[in-house]
Amino acid sequence: MVNPLPENIKYCPRCANSLVWKMDGGRERPACPTPDCKFIFFGESSIGCAGVVLRDNKALLVQRGWEPFSGTWQLPGGYVEQDEVITEGVAREVMEEAGVEAEVNRAVAFRHSLGGTAGGPSANVYIVFALDYVSGEPIWDGDEIANAGFFSLEEMGQMEGVQGLSRWAIELTLNSNDSQGLRLQQGGSMATRPGWSLFGIDMPDPDRL
């Protein structure tokens, strides 16, 4: 029995020929049979991001105005554009959804999920960053975002619909410090390569060992 091709990828995006199944990297994948083309479909994926912005031990949350999960509270965030530096993407989402200016400090958590929503990517990586608050008071558009504000953990406990992943990431950030997590690397040839955002664990100061 021949496996059916995915609904969204039946033809080669390079030369428009019909794709066939081909063994590559230990598994069968949709591929172009044209010798000079060599296109192979490795699946679809997306990168999401969210920001934990703390001010006076309170975290910034936004209330979803759109489905799915309309009315629930979560960290501001969204998808990273394919031509966008991820640190700029999460800062942009915080500004767009809540009107708050913030700068990336470190990465505190990530989630990888398979089987996206109908019509969406088949896999998603969702990275949560801790951002340093710079300026601004929460504002929202009343459409995509129904409300926004800074809330303590105690206040969240009295609110309905605070998403568990968001609260978990906030607790991680509150119970850690700037030396913990993955920090943006500023020096070295790899960190300064155009288009790269390189995160890593800070090396300890040898004078303090």
pLDDT, position 183: 93
Over the stretch 88-100, which tens digit does the pLDDT of each residue have? 999 999 999 999 9
pLDDT, position 154: 98
Over the stretch 123-133, which tens digit does the pLDDT of each residue have? 899 999 999 99
Q: Distance between CA 197 and CA 36 in Å, rounded?
A: 34
pLDDT, position 209: 43
Residues 177-204: b if buried by 16+ CB within 10 A, e if exposed: eeeebbbbbeeeeeeeeeeebebeeeee
- Which parts of the chain have pLDDT scores under 70? 1-7, 115-121, 204-209
DSSP annotation of 1: -
User: Could you tell me the fold of the domain covering 45-184?
Assistant: Nucleoside Triphosphate Pyrophosphohydrolase (3.90.79)
pTM: 0.85
**Nearest in space to 95 (alpha carbons), one of 126, 49, 47:** 49
Q: Where are the domains of the chain?
A: 7-43, 45-184
pLDDT, position 208: 47
Tokens of 166: 């968001």
Query: Please, where are the H alpha helices in 39-107?
Result: 86-98
Going by their DSSP bridges, the two strands 27-31 and 58-64 should be labelled as unpaired
- Name residues whose C-beta falls within 8 Å of residue 203's C-beta, 6 or more positions apart in sequence: none
